[in-house]
Structure 1
Amino acid sequence: MAKNYYDDLGISRQASAEDIKKAYRKLARKYHPDVSKEANAEAMMQAINVAYDTLGDAEKKKQYDFELDHPQAAYGFNGGGSDTHSGFGQGFDQGYQQGAHQGNAQGGFQGGDFSGFEDLFGRFGQGFGGGQYQQYSNGSRQQSFRGEDQHASIEVDLEIAFQGATQNITLQIPTYNAYGEPEVQRKTLQVKIPKGMKEGQQIRLSKQGQAGINGGEAGDLYIQIHYKQDDKLRVEGADIYYNIDISPWEAALGQEIEVNTPNGKVKVGIPKNTVYGKQLRLKDKGIPAKVPGHLYLILNIVYPKAETEQQVHAYEDLAKAFSHFNPRSH
């Protein structure tokens, strides 16, 4: 057996799967050609990829350990330092070399298993291109990765749902630098919010996400829209629920009232003998989406305080007029 993959990663055979992954990431940050200043960075990167391709896979590792313990059962190794094996190493190493020679003609690597790179950059999300690699015309072996798609959310006034707006927003976006170290990127963008955006919908800003690696294109930035809400106002999709206060006589007599809605003032007829919590639906008066939402007015009956002698007498007269009414009889 030409090489020991455990030695290549600097770990013992007792290392756990997590230890193997950590060792690989540490070495990959050290020898990755994009950031390494080591003279043998490319060769070392290839070696640790070959090692991790085997040890990072439970089935391959099991077979490899067996052959370490039973060298007489091993076969297919050339013993000359190419570190290939007919069972698992050969496909990776020959595929890598074949891709390097065919890249100019084919426009990309052929057959190589780059699961090690995918594991290293997996923490950045799928935005790095899902492990796709590019061969440059100068013949050197390099990989380009698409930047990660990133996500943020902003809170805006509900009136924007009816009018639309263009706003400058400043975001602090967690990201990683070329060395794999976490950092916060501060970004100010001009965002056009079209009218009709539902609660929770997203706006995609093309190529405003994580920067690509080695010439790869940047990812996209997705901004989720949330509307400012409180005890009186709630938004669900394109529907708006709005709590409004009415007087006892408006509820009892049934009167027309004027309501300040997020889309301006509207006149609403209160049904006679309205009870607390009744909902009035104003069809298509919610967010003007492709399928318009509705505006639901939730009626809250508010009783005024009796602060003057006249007001006290008014309540006394009310009590006499409704002497038969007992709200606790139900």
Structure 2
Amino acid sequence: MTKNYYEELGLTRAATAAEIKKAYRKLARKYHPDISKEADAEERMQAINVAYDTLSNAEKKKEYDFELDHPQGFSGFGQQAGHGGFDDAKYYRHSSGQEHSSDFSGFEDLFGRFGGGFGGGHQQDFGQRGSGQQRSYRGEDQHASIEVDAAIAYEGSTQNITLQIPSYNAYGEPEVQRKTLQVKIPKGMKEGQQIRLAKQGQAGINGGENGDLYIEIRYRDTDKIRVEGADVYFTLNIAPWEAALGQSIKVETPAGKIKVTIPKNAKNGQQLRLKDKGIPNKTPGHLYLVLNIVFPSAHSEAEQQAYQNFADSFTDFNPRTS
């Protein structure tokens, strides 16, 4: 039996929105074709994208859960095959891959339940009931996310990006399209904010306009930088004497070069808040300098003696009891 979307992401139906997002990020890092060494990376990535596209959207998830609870619930739309020109439309496929019998006499209810994800096939017949007239439908909005360097939050950037977008083929079956788009990322974008690209989403039906594409901005974590909302956390390496003596130093930060005074007897992991030096949003975030005390290696005889002198000066200090 084909895995359902929850199983595809390694989740249960009790998973929260945050858990769904976390599971997707973890799997995307593992199976993204550009970096993965797995033999089935592209196939798995397509399945993961389709699953996430459904479960991360509250309305789609509700529809999908309803279908899981009622696997046989769509076979009774009537026995009027041939009515309204649907002789050759005995089956439809939803994104789950399950095939359901229907004569489409209840199409308006069906379409409302499953959304505008049908990409073609017999869509030209989906007109006003019995009138022979075509009806157009707007394409679905789509969602994607990209990771960029934190420096872009301060400067902005225009980038060409290639996305794998979950979509539907002419038979209503899920597939993944590759799209290369030029995206302008304005400065001041907070972690999780979205950029709307008008009419870059799912294609419309019967001449309906395309949906929109929403791109969520995520900032790439490194050994030195982490972004939370509009706040930026920057690991600042300092020498032991700078920590002990409280010296003033110049620091190259994501917000530019800043002069900082280290407080006396600063501790490892201590945070210094620089107000409004985070992402320059309408409501600016803060920049937090996370102190990391780095001890130099002692290679030469003079360096080793310096450490010995240090030890002789702190004979009462025991780090295992402090």
RMSD (CA atoms)? 3.2
SS for the counterpart of 1:114 is helix
Pick one of 107, 112, 115 that aligns with 2:109: 115
Change over 3 Å in CA distance of 1:39–1:269 after alignment to 2? closer
Bigger relative contact order (CA 8 A; separation at least 6): 2
Residue in structure 2 matched with residue 183 of structure 1 by the alignment:
175
User: Counterpart in 2 of 1:192?
Assistant: 184
Match of 2:229 among 233, 237, 248: 237
Contact 2:169 2:175 in 1 (8 A): yes
Tell me if structure 2 keeps the 8 A contact 1:280–1:296.
Answer: yes
Residue 327 and residue 153 in structure 1: after superposition, are their counterparts in 2 closer, same or farther (change >3 A)? same
For the residues of structure 2 that align with 1:248 and 1:288, how far apart are their CA atoms?
Answer: 32
Q: Does the aligned pair in 2 maintain the 1:284–1:295 contact within 8 Å?
A: yes
Q: Secondary structure at the match of 1:124?
A: coil
- Structure 1 residues without counterparts, runs of 5 or longer: 1-15, 42-46, 54-112, 126-132
Using the TM superposition, give the Cα deviation of residue 264 of structure 1 relative to its aligned residue in structure 2, in angstroms: 2.3
Residue number in structure 1 paired with 2:51 = none
Change (3 A) 1:37 1:174: farther
Task: Write the deviation string for residues 219-266 of structure 1: whole angstroms up to 9, x where unpaired.
Answer: 110000011112321110000011111111001111111222123222
Aligned to 2:27: none
Structure 1 range deviating more: 158-167 or 181-190: 181-190
Aligned to 1:19: 72
How many angstroms apart in 2 are the aligned matches of 1:230 and 1:215?
46
1:48 equivalent in alignment to 2:103: yes
Q: SS of the counterpart of 1:310?
A: helix
Q: CA 1:301–1:17 in structure 2 vs 1: closer, same or farther (change >3 Å)? A: closer
Q: Secondary structure at 1:266's aligned position in 2?
A: strand
Instruction: State the shift of 1:17 in Å.
Output: 4.6
With over 3 angstroms needed to count, the CA separation of the structure-2 counterparts of 1:245 and 1:31, relative to structure 1, is farther
TM-score (norm 2): 0.65
Q: Between Structure 1 and Structure 2, how many residues are aligned? A: 234
- Contact 1:31/1:38 (8 A) holds in 2: no
Rounded Cα–Cα distance in structure 1 between residues aligned with 2:175 and 2:315: 72
Equivalent positions of 1:199-218 (< 5 A) are 199-218=191-210
Select the residue among 245, 258, 283 that pairs with 2:275: 283
Describe the shift of the 1:315–1:218 C-alpha distance in structure 2 as closer, same or farther (beyond 3 A). same
- State whether residues 286 and 294 of structure 1, in contact with CA within 8 Å, keep that contact through their aligned partners in structure 2: yes
For the Cα contact (< 8 Å) 2:146–2:216, is it kept in 1?
A: yes
Superposition TM-score, scaled by structure 1 size: 0.63
Deviation of residue 22 (structure 1)?
A: 6.0
Contact 1:254/1:273, CA 8 A, preserved across alignment: yes
Corresponding residue of 1:293: 285
In structure 1, C-alpha distance between the alignment counterparts of 2:90 and 2:147, rounded to whole Å: 50
Which structure's residues are more often helix, by fraction?
A: 1
1:142 to 134, 137, 143: 134
Percentage of pairs with the same residue: 61
CA distance in 2, matches of 1:259, 1:164: 22
Structure-1 separation of matches of 2:260 and 2:89: 78
In the alignment, does 2:318 pair up with 1:326?
yes
The answer to whether the Cα contact below 8 Å between 1:149 and 1:210 also exists between their aligned partners in 2 is yes
Contact 1:171–1:186 (8 Å) recurs in 2: yes
Note if contact 2:116-2:140 (Cα within 8 Å) is conserved in structure 1: no
Matched, 1:264 2:317: no
The one of 202, 208, 211 aligned to 1:219: 211
The higher radius of gyration belongs to 1
What pairs up with 1:1-12 in 2 under 5 angstroms? none
Partner of 2:117: 124
- CA separation of 1:288/1:166 partners in 2, compared to 1, >3 Å: closer, same or farther? same
